[in-house]
Amino acid sequence: MDWNLLILSVLLNAPFCLGQLLAQHLDKVRLDIPARGSLIPRSNGKRFLYWQDFLVQTWGDFIFLPLIAFGFFSTEISTWEIFLLVGIISVTIPSMVAICTHRTHKPDWGFPGGAQVSLGGAAHLPYFAIYLAFAIICLIRMLTGELAHWPLVLTLIGGAGYIALWMTDLRLGHFDKIN
């Protein structure tokens, strides 16, 4: 197993997570987003969540996504994978904007309401799209047998951990819709 590649995956990921936190802080200071935990209008008592309130963004982004990136970087990247990566990113960003600016989307740190995209949300969109593309390419590599041994094990741990945290956030109501 290439420990340097695993360490690099972690070290490349951390600035992106910290950048999202910095963007959220700037949004908060500029009063572009409501106070953390404030009540959301028309939501039956739901609270406004910040980046650190989502398990999938804290533990998931810092711990499990670097494992998926490790799986992506652990084998040779082919031309078709580059095209697939770019394609997934170019489709994911506008799709996520449409979903997260819909009138029923519960406002949060990245999408504070209506058609608004905060600085933090703008920082999170490409990050989300890139890691989604990494995960899809890793899944394809698993099916073709290209991803094997420790990279496969760590990628599976990363994917399972991320999905478990997403499901926990879902159960906690972090992704509920509003009226």
Sign of the torsion angle spanned by Cα atoms 41, 42, 44, 49: negative
Q: How many domains does the chain have?
A: 1
Domain membership flag for residue 21: yes
pTM of the full structure: 0.93
Lookup: tokens for 105: 């989307």
Domain membership flag for residue 25: yes
Give me the residues paired with residue 113 across strands.
Answer: 116
State the pLDDT confidence band at 32, using cuts at 50, 70 and 90: very high
Domain membership flag for residue 83: yes
Nearest one of 152, 174, 172 to 68, comparing CA atoms: 152
Domain membership flag for residue 166: yes
Give the domain extent around 118.
Answer: 3-171
State the pLDDT confidence band at 44, using cuts at 50, 70 and 90: confident
The mean predicted confidence, pLDDT, of the chain is 95
Task: Indicate whether 68 pLDDT > 90.
Answer: yes
Share of the chain above pLDDT 90, in %: 91
Domain membership flag for residue 52: yes
Domain membership flag for residue 176: no
User: Any idea how long the chain is?
Assistant: 179
